[in-house]
Copies of this chain bind each other. A is one copy, B any other.
Amino acid sequence: MASMKKILECVPNFSEGRDLEIIKKIIEPFRAQKGVKLLDYQMDEDHNRSVVTVVGEPQALKVSVIESVGIAIDLIDMRTHTGQHPRMGAIDVVPFIPVQDISMQETIEFSKAVAEEVAEKYNLPIFLYEKSAKKTERQNLAAIRKGQFEGMTEKIKQQQWTPDYGPVEIHPTAGVTAMGARMPLVAFNVNLDTKQIEIANQIAKKVRHISGGLRHCKAIGIELKDRGIVQVSLNMTDYTQTALYRVFELIKIEAQRYGVNVVGSQIIGLVPMEALVDCAAHYLGLEDFTMQQVLEARIYA
């Protein structure tokens, strides 16, 4: 067991969600590279998009990401791409997330190094986004992506949208790519014992940041028609500052005024251990507890 291994997560989004053979080739570098582990990949036919989850040591991750990007450029042609999800490039977005023994600042530096090398090697324009963004208006991926692949040819020529790395023109078949460091997202849904979607919408509005709620929380109401209930669907964008239990308790309180109960919750996909340990520590009222008391954190530290 090596001591103090730095680990990053990377969740590249590729604009191909229908041809499994192509996706298999794109993710092959993650399977082959020592020091990197492919955790998951999900293809979405309607979106025509695949989301890949890998973790690894920085240097090994860098090598495999660069290789995978090269394969995606070769195999995906955006000129013929259709799908429901907004997209601007063959490798649409490549977020890097600190997982173990690596700071956000190091992750930002890492993302810039990868972006620079990818831009140079493949002549691909790259925008730094989220925590790596050099300009405020580039923090938000949606703002960068506005206009999509079809609009990028012109958009990239505006001084405001000069790419951070690579040429000031789109890659003819691969478009442009966003890369950057971000906190892990936790997809967390809270279920309510009512059929009324308006109640879920109202509560979502109260707990989400944009309309006066918690700082690192996005939320919408969703109907679960087969179960005859609704849910507040949450995207927690920084659980280290906005803990899961806090939004959960707030939703319980807001639900009371509608005479509605919280009947359960769900975590979709992966969640960092610390996000749940924080909840246990809160509900048990743990005093002076540190993550260093978690056996697994010590084993792999």
Contacts and interface: CB of A to CB of B under 8 A. Distances in A.
Interface stretch (A67-75, A141-149, A165-173, A264-272): A264-272
Given A1-B36, A1-B56, A37-B1, A295 B266 contact: no
Nearest to A279: B280
A99 B299 contact: yes
B277 A264 contact: no
B287 A270 contact: no
A63 interface: no
B244 A264 contact: no
A296 B272 contact: yes
A99 B99 CA distance: 21
A39 interface: yes
A184 interface: yes
Nearest to A263: B285
Given A277-B273, A296-B273, A299-B7, A266 B248 contact: no
Interface residues of A, number: 49
Contacts of A122: none
A92 interface: no
A35 interface: yes
A159 interface: no
A294 B279 contact: no
A300 B283 CA distance: 27
A64 to B, nearest CB: 12
Contacts of A223: none
Contacts of A244: 280, 284
Contact of A273 (B248, B273, B283): B273
Given A1-B35, A35-B1, A277-B273, A266 B294 contact: no
19 contacts: A39-B298, A55-B299, A99-B296, A99-B299, A184-B295, A263-B285, A264-B285, A264-B286, A265-B287, A266-B288, A267-B289, A271-B295, A272-B295, A276-B276, A277-B280, A296-B297, A296-B300, A299-B300, A300-B300
Q: When A and B form their complex, which 3 residue pairs have the shortest distance between CB atoms, in order from nearest?
A: A279-B280, A276-B280, A283-B283
Given A39-B299, A265-B284, A271-B293, 7 more contacts: A99-B296, A191-B287, A245-B280, A265-B286, A265-B287, A267-B286, A277-B277
